[in-house]
Amino acid sequence: MKFTEEHEWLRVEDDIVVVGITEHASEQLGDIVFVELPEEGTTVGKDDEVVVIESVKAASDILAPLDGEIVEVNGPLVDDPGKINDDPQGEAWFFKIKPEDMSALDDLMSEAEYKDYIG
């Protein structure tokens, strides 16, 4: 897995990258009550706002970690956003993206680097 400074995790599955938020991020947000996912087939650029999350504490935008095309979204999260608190680094992924350039993952943090980052 790779991690961003914006507390996203990325897991590579063949030529697709699965994206969600880290356990640390879900704890910081508190109870999540709403999530808005991108449309499948949307082309996004790195740092584009692609997901909106609202919790009892705040609203947050999730940014695209890579340039690419959204190929699948986790639709059940819209009806059950609390899953993000229950399993943020597993079943509660947000979207799958087909990156324009897989080597862009090389610029992201390893799990050890991320743990140091959140200290």
For residue 20, give the CATH number of its domain.
Answer: 2.40.50.100
Q: How far apart are CA 98 and CA 118, in angstroms?
A: 28
Which among 36, 28, 71, 70 has a CA at the least distance from the CA of 52? 36
The answer to whether residue 25 is domain-embedded is yes
The answer to whether residue 118 is domain-embedded is no
Q: How far apart are CA 116 and CA 23, in angstroms?
A: 15
The answer to whether residue 111 is domain-embedded is no
Range of the domain at 68: 2-101
The answer to whether residue 107 is domain-embedded is no
**pTM of the full structure:** 0.95
Give the total number of structural domains in the chain.
1
Per-residue pLDDT of 13-57, as tens digits, reads 999 999 999 999 999 999 999 999 999 999 999 999 999 999 998
pLDDT above 70 covers what percent of the chain?
Answer: 100
Residue 23, C-beta contacts closer than 8 angstroms, at least 6 positions apart:
88, 89
Please list the alpha-helical segments (H only) found in the chain. Answer: 23-29, 76-79, 83-86, 111-118
The answer to whether residue 108 is domain-embedded is no
